[in-house]
Chain A
Amino acid sequence: DTAVSQTPKYLVTQMGNDKSIKCEQNLGHDTMYWYKQDSKKFLKIMFSYNNKELIINETVPNRFSPKSPDKAHLNLHINSLELGDSAVYFCASSQAWGHEAFFGQGTRLTVV
């Protein structure tokens, strides 16, 4: 059973489009995250949610809007996609601070 699952795994889209990435965790964790990994493999946190509430928003353009309908889901919606948004986006979850973060397999977004 997959602990943190993201869909889709690959996403190719044109500039200006709006797209969503879905994430679900079946670990019963309270905290979920979105990370962005660029072409140089640099991992940077974008958002953190705890019990459906936004905790961290790391100077991410407001074209990115996370939505947490319940504790087990954290989706990422991106408006007006730009070339620079091309990256691998990882969803993760953890029980709490200082506990292991479990990552999904990633969504490779390519904006053309």
Chain B
Amino acid sequence: GENVEQHPSTLSVQEGDSAVIKCTYSDSASNYFPWYKQELGKGPQLIIDIRSNVGEKKDQRIAVTLNKTAKHFSLHITETQPEDSAVYFCAASVNTDKLIFGTGTRLQVFP
């Protein structure tokens, strides 16, 4: 079955710097890759997603890139702000309703 690895597990950046989180997946048939943000005491919330027919997608300060050959995808956050501090999860899915999540990255943005 699908396996998703996520790195780093923790990431600390200064406000205004960029943050990059990387994920690799095992099933080459995976074709949907969402990213979720989880704030303390809340459920995960989708921040951006990408499908396998697209290499890059951007939404304001957030971008995701996908390399199907290498089977990895990354989340890029530019101009980080303290409110970006949260746990971020990548996930992968193969034409099913089953999302396989990565292990999470705790991002801390220091003012």
Answer whether A97 and B46 are a contact pair too, CB < 8 Å, given A43-B89, A44-B101.
Answer: no
A42 near B32: Cβ-Cβ < 8 Å = no
Interface size on A, residues (CB 8 A): 27
Interface size class of B (residues with CB under 8 A): 20 to 34
Which of B46, B98, B101 interacts with A56 by CB under 8 Å?
A: B98
A45 near B34: Cβ-Cβ < 8 Å = no
B93 near A98: Cβ-Cβ < 8 Å = yes
Complex interface: chain A residues within 8 A of B97 (CB): 31, 33, 48, 50, 55-56, 94, 96-97
B101 near A98: Cβ-Cβ < 8 Å = no
* A101 CA to B49 CA, complexed, in Å: 11
Answer whether A41 and B93 are a contact pair too, CB < 8 Å, given A97-B32, A98-B32, A103-B45.
Answer: no
Complex interface: chain B residues within 8 A of A66 (CB): none
Q: Mark A37-69, 1 if CB is under 8 A from B, else 0.
A: 000111111001010000110100000000000
Binding site for A on B (CB under 8 A): 31-32, 34, 36, 38, 41-46, 49, 51, 87, 89, 93, 95-101, 103-104
